[in-house]
Structures are given as C-alpha cells and as structure tokens.
Amino acid sequence: MNKQIALQDLGFKDYKQIWDYQETLFKAIVDTKIKNRREAVGLQTKNYFLFVEHPHVYTLGKSGDLSNLLLNEEQLTEKGATFYKINRGGDITYHGPGQVVGYPILDLENFFTDIHKYLRFLEEMIILTLAEYGLKAERSDGETGVWLDVGTPFARKICAMGVRASRWVTMHGFALNVNANLGYFDNIIPCGIRGKAVTSLNIELGVKEVSMDEVKEKLLKHFANLFEAEFF
C-alpha cells in the first residue's frame, strides 16, 4: 500500500486543461491496476493531490439538471465564464478566483475501499480547517459538502464537493470558498438546492482577504492525518 501522495499546486489554470490532466493521471493509475490484475506484476500505484484556482466556470455533474444554470450562452460570455458538463457526481457548481479547489486522485486501495468514508474524510478535512479559524462547520443531511448554521434559516454552504470513482480510483474533489466572488453563484441553483445561501471564509471572518496558502497548508495537514498519508 502506497500512502505517499504527490502534491502539485498548479496555480491559476483553465478548467478544461486541468480536467484533461486529471483524466491522464486517473487513466495511468487505472491502467497500472489492470496490468497488475492481468499479469500479477505487483506494480505500485501512484496517488496525487492537485491544488488549482480556476477562471470563472460552471460545471454540471452527470446527474445534474441543466435548468439549474440560469444563464444562456451569450450571458455566460458577458460574465467571462465557461460551462462544462462533466463526469463527476452531483449537480451544478461554480469555480472561480478566490476559491481553493482540490483534486485528490487516489488509489483508494492504498488507503481504504469505502467511497462513503472517503467523502466523509474530505468533509472532515474542511470542518477541521475551518475550526482553526473559529468557525463551526458541519455536514447537512442529504446534502454533500460543508455548511454553516445547519438547521437554521441562515444555513449557508462554504464548500462544494463532487467526485468520480472507478476501480477505487478517485478524481474531481472539493471547492472551498476562501475569497470568492459570491455574485457568480446567483447565476445557478447551487447543487440543485433552492433557497440555500453560499458564503466565503473571508466574509465569515469579516476580512477583505484570507491567505490562500495558509488555508492550503491547513487542509494538507488535516488530510494527511485523516488518510495517514505523506505528501511529497
């Protein structure tokens, strides 16, 4: 079992470019697993963790409803945004500047073979990170991601999640609003959930900007502890 994870901070990159890159890494891991099963060669599978920040983009999961995008093609262009139908679970979400996006591409057979546990660990990483900023974040029954003030009229989502897994290999991941422009969420019904607000860490803390690098460090610390993993 290889619990080492190659960390790559890709900076500010186009969504489609990084989606294609994820697919390349994902396929290489799956191909290694197929070769191991066919030829009993015992090759070690690799794990990756990608950090990235995207230009304005809306993505719709395979179970999503296109009507949750409230813009037409012309309006998307006016907003400087792009749109993609993609192969993760979940409905529609937004990515953009000021958001820490993380894509763990893991062979879960190196850790544990339980997708439910994997999602809960991703949520827990976010919850523990936000606790370091004095925020009580939590899960909301039947709604993936991480929320504040669950069960009150003020419930708001701070982190969206959507993953794909095949042969126990994961891709896609989470998007944590750190210094995000929340106005872009007004153009969708986020995750197909009506009447629920979204928020960003800087707004919750009442500051203009939170250090993205500091947030990433905290996320990695909690991820490594939860998954008993080591980054390099």
Q: What is the pLDDT of residues 45-88, one digit of tens each?
A: 999 999 999 999 999 988 888 898 999 989 999 999 999 999 88
In sequence order, the β-bridge partners of residue 85 are 60
pLDDT (tens digit per residue) in 93-121: 899 999 999 999 999 999 999 999 999 99
The per-residue pLDDT of the chain, averaged, comes to: 94
**What pLDDT is stored for residue 193 in this prediction?**
61
75 is written with which tokens?
Answer: 């309006």
Share of the chain above pLDDT 90, in %: 84
CB 146 within 8 A of CB 196: no
Give the residue numbers of the binding site.
Answer: 88-95, 160-162, 173-175
**What pLDDT is stored for residue 104 in this prediction?**
98
- Catalytic residue check, 191: yes
Give the strand pairing for 137-140 and 143-148: antiparallel
CB 92 within 8 A of CB 61: yes
Question: Which domain range does residue 226 map to?
Answer: 4-231
Alpha carbons 117 and 114: distance in angstroms, whole number: 5
Out of 69, 119, 122, 191, pick the active-site residue. Answer: 191
**What pLDDT is stored for residue 97 in this prediction?**
98
Give the residue numbers of the binding site for substrate.
Answer: 88-95, 160-162, 173-175
What is the number of domains present in the chain? 1
**CATH code (residue 82):** 3.30.930.10
